């Protein structure tokens, strides 16, 4: 094939000299310019900054640009985003190298102008121009799989470096006469000539001799000279004489004057492409021949003929698997003369054996194989074996779906050596037969399909079931002969109908007509999946009803769509009849079971009768069912239950039990009677005595032969065929009713006895001989808390409390099993776990033979009586303990009255408790609320000899101690463990052998403030009950009062006092919050204790409306009530009742408040205490309760003792504490003002006392003060 294209000009390309310098002479430069511009590969040069400095037309067009558009642009213009980093790294490596980069090839992408990526093969090479590095990139579309590499070593070889990078092309220059002037690496690779061998040689050296003789080389030069460029394809010859198919582009090179200076020639080896094209054509020819053949054998013969014609083979055989699939058989042969034959001929016995073995080996391994040194076949012209050239044979497998479906064996002689190698021939044959496998498989499938069709036709004719084929619209297109027996329609009557039109009615199990959507064929079309064994009934056009079962499956297209449905239909009418009969029996059995369960569970016989007649009517599918009761005194039948009302217009009316009716006959004879049609019956005239419409029925007697109770009737208004199973069913139901009636009669006998037992006031229960409870009366349920359903079936041992030993119960059982009555008191346990005591009598119940068959237990509840006895005993013991404790505490009370100091009081408490008869050891400790710890100060040294001090303890270490301090009440530990020490200490143990059983913590309290704790220990295991704890609690309060009195006494009788000053901003104090919020000043004028451990305070307000202050104070949980005593603008007085405050905390610790002022959110309090007072205790208490509290000052002040004593004697001792408190409250509350600012009722409410009591205190206090002032000591006598 000769194709030409003229390329005489290079518009749009920049001269190479502009980029590669002037080291090339003019011819070389022109050659380079022409050659690069005519290259099919793209060439792009980039400087060190990544700017494109040159692009040929091919390189620019790869990216959709012209050369002018690319030059000057950054290389990123044509480099996709994802490989930019790769290109950058490649340039950087080039720059960093000390020597030129050898040509390197990669596969990457170029970004096209319209946005898509073009796969290319990239080759890099490096040049230097005037000290500047340039990088030349050769680009080829990856479809050509181009590879190129080049390197440049110096400036003078830039042209060579550029084209040395291309190895897929032979690129060289010719002089005007066709002699070779330059040579690249690709040319050496392609032709085998080195540059020094070929330089100055003529281009005709590459042409076959026939082409040279025809003058083709000179003609090619002339055409290129005349037309500027020529492109041709043809065979060329390498140095070793082998041929290759070349694509040649030759371009004339002219100087600036237009004179021819030579030619640029580019040659590409396209041998592989030509071979592939030939193979594709061969594949098409072989496939076409097989496709046109009607049989596989014929197709294989055609394929062999094509191979012998178009390839260098002279003989062919085709083998296919035999029927056994374990061996091969020859299917076709093409002989050396081109004749198609299937006979065994031509080959010698030895060659024949080798050829057969070759075919078997290829079929077994699935791989092509050669066999050499064959003698060859004989020709048709001579029977003698051919001699001379040796033959070789190639076996090639033909595969489909991974299996060998045929083997082709081809052979060629040595005389046909056409220059092809064995591998090339093998590859050619393999390609040629590559499509035969699927085609052979398809041919076989078509043959199998044809056989299946024939088999299907035979199957349709002989099948014992109906077969129906339907289209998606429901139209039946094919049926077999059996369908006529199923539907009563011939094949011609069936085909063309819809499948829902094959009968008068097609219905389901319930007799409802099937909708089109419910048909199995419709469901297959909709769901695209089979439907199996769908049963339906059909009312045929000939009047016959049948039951059919259909299994339907889809027939799919190659795309998976359902194009048809095949239904297999069977007649299941007889099976359905048997199933209905079986179901009828099963229903009867289930109904009988359910009625039996009802009979066992209910005592309502009438209800059982009603349920029975309705169930019997529905189960037998009759018109009615009735239970008659025989009234023996009148020999009549009365209706007890009826379903269907066949008993007459008045169901309650009695009828005569005459024997001419079926009911009367059964009652008197006792024989079950079945009447299918009373008109044909000779034994009776009617079924029921009063209903002539009933013509069939079953009657069975209820009751025993000795005492017949009544009759059970199942009746129908139409003749009915009753089976034996029906009669047995009715008889079984009657037997069940008989048992229910007899049980009712027995129940009536015991009902009176049960009534008496259930109304009994004592608990009664019955057990069998094994002790299983059979009955309990309501009194038992009330006594034990168990319902009857919870204990029936259980053993009385579930009531055992664990109080009695096993021997107790063993004696009980021995007594009653001997038939004797047992009496005794038993302590049992209720369901709630509460114990109770009964006076129990257990008597055996014997049968007629005197054998014990059960026991009856009668229990009289004596729990209350026993509890009263125990209560009296506890009270006696408790009173004894109270007396003992009271006697023990009496000396302590006298000693407290004599003690005058805190130390005396603490030591007195400890000594008196330890030496009392009630307790064996005691200690006393002070409580510090700030650290929540107790510091022991006094203890009995005789019990703890050698112990100089007891450690301070955290109250949480002993739970009893913590609870006592927290609640202010006495708490005790009743199970004391002193093995690890005496609590709360683990390192302190008494040296005596006394076993301490119990201990108590007694808080020392005054005005809800815990001052200390007394620990008391006893050897009594039952010590510290509620009475004893109450006595100790009172003791703790007396000790607290004594401590407070001693502190006040010290304060009154001392020459000096200690003044304490505190300042607090605590948010826990509502007064600091209100003062800061409202910007007012609050001054405490008086603070008086009241009932319920509260205080009444009078507060002067300055700077805010008293009502506003009041409203704000009552929001606090520590302020209970607030009242405005008087108000004038932003000043006034408030009365507040409070639980606690910084002032009350100081008061509770024995301090006397001298002043308390709150201003700008700061509360300043000054108070006096006795010199002996523990100031640290007060300070800790304040700071523990109120955060942000400072102890500002502690001052010692002088007090005139005589003045204080006189004041106390003249006024203090005159008034009682309560009178003084009431008088102070009245004074500060404005009671004495005119008009009064507070009424007596208001002040009484603040103090928590009644109004009359308040006035009594005011009058008495006023009178005493007046007596003192008027010096009238005898007033009391008046």
Q: What is the pLDDT of residues 120-141, one digit of tens each?
A: 888 777 776 666 777 788 888 7
Q: Which of the four pLDDT bands, split at 50, 70 and 90, describes residue 1072? A: very high
Query: How much of the chain is in helix, strand and coil states, percent to nearest 5?
Result: 40, 30, 30
How far apart are alpha carbons 314 and 281 in whole angstroms? 19
Tokens of 739: 């048992």
Residue 749 lies in a domain: no
Cβ partners under 8 Å of residue 65, min gap 6 = 55, 78, 113
Contact by Cβ (8 Å): 311, 282: yes
Per-residue confidence band for 17, with pLDDT thresholds at 50, 70 and 90: very low
Q: Is 328 exposed, middle or buried (0-12, 13-18, 19+ CB in 10 A)?
A: buried
Q: Which residues are registered as beta bridge partners of 334?
A: 316, 340
Question: Does pLDDT of 97 surpass 60?
Answer: no
pLDDT surpassing 70 at residue 103: no
Location of structure tokens 């005459």: 658
**Token pair recorded at residue 1274:** 């005898």
Where does 1089-1150 have alpha helices with state H? Answer: 1106-1113, 1142-1148
In three-state secondary structure terms, 454 is: helix
Q: Which residue has better confidence, 335 or 227? A: 227
Last residue of a domain, one of 536, 571, 606: 571
Q: Do 561 and 677 share a domain, yes or no?
A: no
**Looking at residue 1201, what is its pLDDT?**
46
pLDDT at 707 over 90: no
CA torsion, ordered 878, 880, 885, 886, to nearest 10 deg: 110
Q: Look at residue 1074 in the predicted model and tell me its pLDDT.
A: 92
> Which spans in 338-480 are helix H?
349-365, 422-432, 436-462
Q: Which of 861, 890, 918 is the last residue of a domain?
A: 861
Query: What is the rounded distance in angstroms from the CA atom of residue 146 to the CA atom of residue 130?
Result: 31
Question: What DSSP character marks residue 169?
Answer: E
Four-point Cα dihedral 365, 366, 367, 370, nearest 10: 70
The two tokens of residue 876 are 């006696």
pLDDT at 784: 92
Of 1015, 1032, 1051, the one marking the end of a domain is: 1051
The answer to whether the CB of 961 falls within 8 A of the CB of 934 is yes
* 649 pLDDT above the threshold of 60: no
Mean pLDDT, residues 792-811: 91
Q: Tell me how far CA of residue 758 lies from CA of 193, 315, 755, 854, 858, in angstroms.
A: 131, 117, 5, 18, 12
Domain presence at residue 753: no
Tokens 């060190």 label which residue? 48
φ, ψ for residue 1217, nearest 5 deg? -60, -40
Together in a domain, 783 and 854: yes
Cα–Cα dist 1014/1029, whole Å:
13
Cα dist. 531→48, 528, 534, 535, 549 in Å? 76, 10, 7, 11, 11
Do 282 and 417 reside in the same domain of the chain? Answer: yes
Distance from C-alpha of 872 to C-alpha of 885, rounded to nearest angstrom? 20
- C-alpha span between 1161 and 700 (Å, rounded): 104
Provide the domain limits for residue 887: 869-1051
Give the model's pLDDT for residue 385. 40
Average pLDDT over residues 905-929: 83
Domains contained in the chain, number: 9
Q: Is residue 29 part of a domain?
A: no
Are 800 and 901 part of one and the same domain? no
Q: Are 569 and 480 in contact (CB under 8 A)?
A: no
How much of the chain, in percent, has pLDDT values that exceed 70? 83
Q: How many CA atoms lie within 13 A of 182 on its CB side?
A: 24
User: Is the pLDDT score of 59 beyond 90?
Assistant: no
Q: Is residue 26 part of a domain?
A: no
Write out the two tokens for 566: 């095949």
Q: 1081-1089 and 1095-1102: which strand pairing? A: antiparallel
pLDDT digits (tens, 9 = 90+) for 592-614: 888 888 888 777 888 888 888 89
**pLDDT given at position 752:** 61
Q: Which residue has the tokens 């259930």?
A: 758
Displacement of CA 1051 from its chain's centroid (Å): 76
pLDDT at 1102 over 90: yes
Q: Count, in order, helices (H) and strands (E) of the chain.
A: 37, 46
pLDDT at residue 24 tops 60 = no
State yes or no: pLDDT of 1010 exceeds 80. Answer: yes
Q: Which residue has the higher pLDDT, 1147 or 993?
A: 1147
* CA distances (Å), origin 115, targets 43, 77, 165, 477: 21, 11, 29, 58
Under the banding of pLDDT at 50, 70 and 90, the label for residue 163 is: low
Instruction: Name the most confidently modeled range: 512-516, 944-948, 1242-1246.
Output: 512-516
**Do 347 and 421 fall into the same domain?**
yes
| CA–CA separation, 2 and 1038 (whole Å) | 137
Q: Which of 184, 186, 181 is nearest to 200 (CA)?
A: 181
Ramachandran area for residue 248 (φ above 0: left; ψ -120 to 50: alpha; else beta): beta
Q: Does the pTM exceed 0.85? A: no
Q: What is the per-residue pLDDT across 1108-1122, written as a single tens digit (0 to 9) for each? A: 999 999 888 888 888
Please tell me the predicted confidence (pLDDT) of residue 89. Answer: 52
Continuous segment of H or E residues that includes residue 1041:
helix 1026-1052
Q: CB–CB of 678/686 below 8 Å? A: yes
Q: Which CATH number is 338's domain given?
A: 3.30.450.40
Structure confidence at residue 543 (pLDDT):
87
Q: What CA–CA distance (Å, rounded) separates 942 from 1134?
A: 57
Mean pLDDT of the chain: 79
Instruction: Kindly state whether residues 1006 and 890 are assigned to the same domain.
Output: yes
Is 812 found in the same domain as 779?
yes
Residues 887, 805, single domain; the answer is no
Query: Is the model more confident about 1050 or about 332?
Result: 332
Residue 32 falls inside a structural domain? no
Range with the poorest average pLDDT among 376-390, 620-634, 1113-1127: 376-390
Measured in whole angstroms, the distance separating CA 862 from the mean position of its chain's CA atoms is 59
Q: Write down the pLDDT at residue 965.
A: 86
Does 23 have pLDDT greater than 50?
no
**CATH, residue 835:** 3.30.450.20
Q: Which residue has the tokens 């006494």?
A: 1049
Report the distance separating Cα 617 and Cα 726, nearest Å.
12
* pLDDT tier at 30, thresholds 50, 70, 90: low
Same domain, residue pair 809 and 837:
yes
User: How far from chain centre, in Å, is Cα 464?
Assistant: 54
Mean pLDDT, range 678-695, rounded to an integer: 71
CA atoms within 13 Å, Cβ hemisphere of 61? 13
Residue in 1271, 1147, 1267 with CA at minimum distance from that of residue 1219 = 1267
The confidence band for 1051, taking pLDDT boundaries of 50, 70 and 90, is low
What is the torsional sign of CA 352, 354, 356, 359? negative
User: C-alpha distances in angstroms, 978 versus 942, 986, 1062?
Assistant: 18, 9, 45
Please give the pLDDT value at position 6.
38
Q: Which residues pair with 641 in a beta bridge?
A: 627
| Between 162 and 348, residue with greater pLDDT | 348
Asked whether residue 1030 is assigned to any structural domain, the reply reads yes
Can you say whether the dihedral through the CA atoms of 96, 100, 105, 107 is positive or negative?
positive
User: Residue 792's pLDDT band (boundaries 50, 70, 90)?
Assistant: very high
* Cα–Cα distance measured from residue 689 to residue 995, given in angstroms and rounded to the nearest whole number: 98
Continuous segment of H or E residues that includes residue 1084: strand 1081-1089
Please indicate, yes or no, if residue 28 is contained in any of the structural domains.
Answer: no
Mean per-residue pLDDT, 220-236: 89
To which H or E segment does residue 611 belong?
A: helix 605-620
Split at pLDDT 50, 70, 90, the class of 15 is very low
Specify the pLDDT at position 194.
Answer: 92
Per-residue model confidence (pLDDT) at position 1038: 83
Confidence check: pLDDT of 320 > 90: no
320 pairs with which residues across the strands? Answer: 329
Report the candidate in 65, 47, 48 with the shortest Cα–Cα distance to residue 56.
65
Question: Residue 153's pLDDT band (boundaries 50, 70, 90)?
Answer: very low
Confidence class of residue 1164 from pLDDT cuts 50, 70 and 90? very high
808's enclosing H/E stretch is helix 806-817
Mind listing the pLDDT tens digit for each residue in 259-314?
Answer: 899 999 989 888 777 777 777 777 777 777 666 777 777 778 888 887 887 777 88
pLDDT reported for residue 160: 53
Are 154 and 174 members of one domain?
A: no
pLDDT at residue number 1277: 43
Whether pLDDT at 22 is above 50:
no
- Predicted confidence band of residue 343 (pLDDT cuts 50, 70, 90): very low
Spatial separation of the C-alpha atoms in residues 1036 and 909, rounded to whole Å: 10
Contact by Cβ (8 Å): 465, 482: yes
Claim to verify: residue 682 and residue 537 sit in the same structural domain: no
Shared domain check, 1024 and 887: yes
The whole-number pLDDT of residue 1202 equals: 43
CA neighbor of 63 nearest in space, from 138, 116, 125, 10 = 116
912: left (phi over 0), alpha (psi -120 to 50) or beta: alpha
Residue 19 lies in a domain: no
Q: Calculate ∠ Cα 82-83-87, nearest 5°.
A: 150
Report the C-alpha gap between 81 and 110 in whole angstroms: 10
- pLDDT of the residue at 971: 92
Q: Is the peptide bond before 1235 cis (omega within 30 degrees of 0)?
A: yes
Q: Does residue 1039 register a pLDDT over 60?
A: yes
pLDDT for residue 219: 92
Q: Using one digit for the tens of pLDDT, what is the confidence trace for 399-458?
A: 888 888 888 898 887 654 444 567 777 887 877 787 777 777 777 777 777 777 777 777
List, as own/partner pairs, every contact residues 817-826 make where C-beta atoms lie below 8 angstroms and the sequence separation is at least 24, other chains included.
817/769, 817/844, 817/852, 819/844, 819/846, 819/852, 820/844, 825/862, 826/859
Burial of 1226 (0-12, 13-18, 19+ CB in 10 A): buried
CA distance 884 to 881: 5
Confidence category of residue 583, pLDDT binned at 50, 70, 90? confident
Q: Which residues contact 82 (CB under 8 A, 6 or more apart)?
A: none
């Amino acid at each position: 094939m000769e194709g030409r294209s003229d390329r005489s000009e290079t518009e749009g390309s920049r001269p190479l000299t502009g980029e590669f310098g002037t080291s090339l002479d003019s011819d070389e430069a022109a050659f380079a310019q022409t050659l690069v511009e005519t290259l099919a590969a793209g060439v792009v040069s980039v400087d060190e900054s990544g700017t494109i400095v040159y692009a040929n037309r091919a390189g620019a067009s790869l990216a959709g640009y012209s050369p002018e558009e690319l030059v000057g642009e950054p290389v990123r213009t044509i480099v996709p985003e994802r490989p930019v980093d790769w290109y950058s790294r490649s340039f950087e490596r080039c720059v960093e190298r000390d020597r030129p980069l050898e040509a390197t090839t990669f596969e990457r992408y170029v970004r096209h102008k319209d946005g898509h990526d073009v796969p290319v093969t990239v080759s890099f090479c490096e040049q230097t121009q005037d000290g500047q590095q340039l990088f030349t990139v050769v680009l080829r579309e990856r479809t050509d799989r181009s590879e190129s590499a080049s390197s440049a070593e110096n400036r003078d070889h830039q042209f060579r470096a550029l084209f040395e990078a291309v190895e897929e092309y032979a690129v060289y220059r010719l002089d005007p006469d066709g002699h070779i002037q330059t040579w690249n690496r690709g040319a050496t690779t392609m032709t085998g000539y080195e540059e020094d061998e070929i330089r100055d040689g003529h281009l005709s050296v590459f042409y076959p001799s026939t082409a040279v003789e025809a003058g083709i080389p000179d003609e090619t030069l002339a055409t290129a000279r005349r037309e500027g460029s020529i492109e041709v394809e043809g065979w060329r010859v390498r140095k070793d004489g082998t041929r290759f198919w070349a694509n040649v582009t030759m371009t004339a090179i002219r100087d600036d004057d237009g004179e021819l200076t030579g030619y640029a020639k580019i040659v590409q080896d396209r041998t592989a492409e030509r071979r592939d094209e030939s193979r594709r054509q061969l594949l098409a020819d072989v496939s076409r021949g097989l496709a046109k053949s009607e049989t596989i054998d014929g197709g294989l013969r055609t394929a062999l003929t094509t191979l012998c014609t178009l390839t260098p083979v002279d003989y062919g055989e085709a083998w296919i698997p035999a029927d056994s699939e374990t061996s091969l058989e020859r299917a076709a042969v093409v002989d050396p003369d081109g004749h198609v034959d299937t006979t065994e001929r031509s080959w010698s016995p030895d060659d024949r054996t080798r050829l057969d073995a070759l075919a078997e080996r290829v079929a077994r391994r699935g791989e092509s194989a050669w066999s050499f040194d064959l003698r060859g076949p004989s020709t048709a012209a001579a029977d003698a074996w051919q001699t001379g050239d040796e033959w070789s044979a190639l076996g090639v497998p033909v595969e489909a779906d991974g299996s060998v479906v045929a083997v082709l064996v081809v052979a060629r002689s040595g005389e046909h050596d056409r220059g092809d190698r064995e591998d090339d021939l093998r590859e050619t044959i393999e390609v040629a037969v590559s499509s035969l496998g699927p085609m052979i498989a398809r041919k076989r499938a078509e043959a199998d399909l044809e056989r299946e069709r024939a088999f299907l036709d035979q199957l349709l004719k002989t099948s014992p079931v109906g077969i129906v084929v339907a289209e998606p619209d429901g139209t039946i297109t094919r049926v077999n002969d059996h369908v006529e027996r199923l539907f009563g329609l011939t094949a011609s009557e069936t085909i063309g109908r819809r499948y829902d039109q094959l009968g008068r009615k097609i219905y389901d199990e319930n007799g409802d007509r099937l909708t089109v959507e419910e048909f199995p064929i419709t469901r297959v079309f909709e769901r695209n999946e089979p439907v199996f064994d769908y049963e339906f009934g059909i009312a045929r056009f000939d009047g016959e009803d049948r039951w059919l079962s259909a299994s339907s499956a889809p027939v799919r297209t190659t795309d998976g769509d359902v194009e048809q449905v095949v239904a297999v239909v069977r007649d299941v009418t007889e099976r359905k009849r048997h199933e209905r009969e079986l179901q009828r029996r099963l229903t009867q059995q289930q109904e009988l079971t359910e009625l039996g369960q009802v009979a066992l569970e209910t005592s309502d016989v009438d209800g059982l009768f009603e349920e029975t007649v309705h169930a019997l009517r529905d189960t037998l599918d009759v018109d009615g069912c009735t239970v008659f009761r025989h009234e023996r005194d009148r020999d009549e039948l009365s209706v007890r239950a009826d379903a269907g009302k066949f008993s007459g217009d008045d169901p309650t009316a009695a009828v005569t039990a005459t024997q001419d009716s079926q009911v009367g006959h059964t009652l008197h004879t006792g024989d079950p009677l079945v009447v299918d049609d009373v008109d044909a019956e000779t034994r009776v005239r009617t079924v029921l005595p009063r209903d002539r419409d009933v013509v069939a029925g079953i009657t069975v007697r209820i009751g025993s032969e000795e005492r017949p109770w009544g009759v059970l009737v199942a009746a129908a208004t139409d003749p009915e065929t009753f089976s034996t199973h029906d009669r047995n069913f009715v008889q079984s139901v009657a037997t069940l009713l008989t048992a229910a009636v007899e049980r009712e009669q027995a129940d009536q006998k015991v009902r009176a006895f049960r009534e008496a037992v259930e109304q009994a006031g004592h608990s009664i229960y019955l057990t069998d001989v094994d002790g299983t409870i059979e009955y309990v009366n309501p009194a038992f349920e009330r006594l034990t808390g168990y319902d009857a359903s919870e204990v029936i079936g259980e053993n009385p041992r579930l009531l055992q409390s664990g109080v009695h030993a096993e021997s107790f119960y063993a004696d009980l059982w021995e007594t009653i099993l001997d038939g004797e009555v047992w009496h005794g008191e038993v302590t049992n346990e209720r369901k709630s776990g509460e114990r109770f005591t009964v006076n129990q009598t257990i008597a055996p119940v014997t049968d007629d033979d005197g054998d014990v068959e059960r026991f009856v237990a009668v229990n009289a509840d004596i729990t209350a009586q026993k509890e009263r006895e125990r209560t009296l005993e506890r009270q006696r013991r408790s009173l004894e303990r109270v007396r003992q404790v009271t006697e023990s505490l009496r000396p302590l009370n006298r000693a407290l009255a004599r003690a005058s100091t805190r130390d005396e009081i603490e030591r007195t408490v400890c000594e008196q408790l330890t030496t009392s008869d009630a307790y064996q050891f005691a200690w006393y400790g002070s409580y510090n609320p700030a650290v929540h710890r107790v510091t022991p100060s006094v203890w009995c040294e005789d019990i703890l000899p050698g112990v100089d001090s007891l450690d301070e303890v955290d109250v949480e270490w002993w739970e009893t101690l913590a609870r006592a301090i927290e609640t202010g009440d006495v708490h005790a530990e009743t199970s004391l463990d002193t093995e690890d020490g005496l609590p709360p200490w683990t390192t302190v143990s008494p040296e005596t052998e006394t076993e301490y059983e119990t201990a108590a913590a007694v808080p020392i309290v005054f005005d809800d403030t815990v001052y200390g704790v007394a620990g008391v220990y006893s050897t009594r295991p039952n010590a510290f009950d509620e009475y004893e704890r109450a006595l100790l609690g009172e003791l703790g309060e007396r000790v607290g009062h004594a401590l407070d009195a001693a502190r006040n006494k010290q304060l009154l009788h001392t020459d000096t006092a200690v003044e304490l000053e505190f300042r607090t901003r605590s948010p826990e104090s509502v007064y600091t919050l209100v003062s800061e919020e409202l910007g007012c000043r609050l001054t405490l004028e008086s603070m008086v204790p009241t009932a319920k451990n509260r205080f009444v305070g009078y507060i002067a307000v300055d700077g805010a409306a008293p009502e506003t202050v009041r409203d704000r104070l009552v929001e606090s949980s520590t302020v209970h009530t607030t009242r405005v005593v008087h108000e004038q603008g932003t000043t006034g007085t408030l009365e507040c009742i409070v639980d606690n405050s910084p002032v009350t905390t100081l008061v509770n610790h024995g301090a006397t408040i001298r002043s308390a002022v709150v201003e700008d959110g700061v509360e300043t309090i000054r108070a006096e205490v006795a010199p002996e007072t523990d100031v640290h205790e007060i300070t800790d208490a304040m700071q523990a309760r109120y955060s942000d509290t400072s102890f500002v000052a502690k001052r010692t002040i002088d007090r005139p003792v005589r003045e204080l004593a006189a004041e106390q004697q003249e006024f203090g001792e005159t008034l009682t504490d309560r009178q003084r408190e009431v008088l102070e409250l009245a004074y500060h509350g404005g009671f004495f003002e005119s008009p009064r600012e507070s009424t007596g009722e208001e002040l009484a409410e603040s103090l928590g006392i009644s109004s009359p009591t308040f006035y009594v205190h005011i009058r008495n206090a006023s009178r005493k003060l007046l007596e003192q002032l008027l010096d009238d000591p005898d007033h009391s006598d008046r």
